[in-house]
Structure 1
Amino acid sequence: MPEAPGSADHGAVVERQFGARAAAYLSSSVHAQGQEFVQLRTRVGEIDAPRVLDLGCGAGHVSFQLADLASEVVAYDLSPRMLAVVGEAAGERGFGNIRTVQGVAESLPFAADSFDVVCSRFSAHHWRDVGLALREARRVLKPGGLAAFIDVAASEQPLFDSFLQTVEMLRDTSHVRDYAPSEWAKMVGEAGLAVTASSRQRLRLDFETWIARMRTPDVMREAIRHLQSQVGQEVRDAFEIGEDGSFTTDMLVLWATKEHV
């Protein structure tokens, strides 16, 4: 069946949203910084010359953080234009062991048991089928290997969950879902990975920067601001919504492993 006028599959929407904004994500402080990087470097540093998969690498910040600890880092993403930015930046920073590969999270073009570490940061909320992607992550991870999943976390409370999903979709039409910690634990377990630890952090988002990075249309921007003004005080308190629209949300850092059979 032909697509309706103006329609596109999800992969095309993701590329449309992010390809033209790759440079903005490279310079984004939200993406380039984070206390979770200390945890990542500590854990990955305990593995001797690991081969690392940066799954949904975006502008490559995880790859850059781990390159000096790894024998090889494969920066993997749906967007060719994102990967071009990663490749150029890796060269400028002297990381000759970073290799870029294009593809979707649900179908990884790598052999089973081929990575010591699989990391994904701020990517899973764009995946069409998280369960399938997690099963693929498990397949390519070596037994005993380290998996790390880092993403914005939804609330377990339906009201707060609804608010977050709505503003995310209004800002970025490629958004699928932010998952709650309980959903993450269930999906990771069903994929055959064993959760070893998890923690939550608070992430402050400056509204104007958050909007500008995605070049959100004015009509969507105004819809977000109107929604923020209309929700109840409990929602405003939970997200610490400021007068300028800036707000705070949770992010989850989840660690897992592929157990030896």
Structure 2
Amino acid sequence: MLKAGGRVVLVDNVAPDDDPATDTFWQMMEYLRDTSHVRAHSVAQWRAMFTETGFNVEVRHRWKKRLEFQPWVERIGTPHFNQAMIKTLLDDASQAVHEWLQIDEHYNFTLHAALFVGIKTA
């Protein structure tokens, strides 16, 4: 609970705002890696959730994080079968997905992240 004027800061990976197919691809990759994954929200979705819960929100910073595929799947203990499925998805990915994730020949890719600051209105 925050009183009026209180601040909440959130940092999270974000999905694309304007490409449902790439968003779905990203959600599937995340789920195959970690079956407890629920959803990576877009910046627009985060803004809406902040606003709907009584916050003014600013996106203070957006950035990209380059990840190596193998450590990414190993750190959470992704089963080998799921790792292979993710690689198959990446092999067959659309041009839009390749552009969003910047996939290389070793399956390394780029995540998108954002820092939000919400200020409670009342």
Partner of 2:47: 185
Any idea what SS the aligned residue of 2:75 has? helix
Pair 1:217 & 2:79 matched: yes
Distance of 1:225 and 1:197 partners within structure 2:
32
Partner of 2:12: 151
Distance of 2:3 and 2:62 partners within structure 1:
26
Aligned length: 121
What's the CA shift string for 1:27-83, capped at 9, x where partnerless?
Answer: xxxxxxxxxxxxxxxxxxxxxxxxxxxxxxxxxxxxxxxxxxxxxxxxxxxxxxxxx
Distance of 2:29 and 2:97 partners within structure 1:
13
TM-score by length of 2: 0.92
- Which residue identity does 1:227 align to in structure 2? L
1:232 Cα deviation (Å)?
A: 2.1
- Which residue identity does 2:89 align to in structure 1? L
1:144 Cα deviation (Å)?
A: 1.5
Any idea what SS the aligned residue of 1:245 has? coil
Larger relative contact order (Cα-Cα within 8 Å, sequence gap ≥ 6): 2
1:196 Cα deviation (Å)?
A: 3.4
Any idea what SS the aligned residue of 1:202 has? strand
Distance of 2:73 and 2:59 partners within structure 1:
32
Any idea what SS the aligned residue of 1:150 has? strand
Any idea what SS the aligned residue of 2:5 has? strand
Alignment of 1:1-261 (within 5 A): 140-156=1-17, 157-259=19-121, 261=122
1:204 Cα deviation (Å)?
A: 1.2
Identity percentage of aligned residues: 34
Distance of 1:230 and 1:210 partners within structure 2:
20
Distance of 1:173 and 1:257 partners within structure 2:
33
- Contact 2:59-2:114 within 8 A present in 1 as well: no
Any idea what SS the aligned residue of 1:199 has? strand
Give the alignment's Cα RMSD to 1 decimal. 1.3
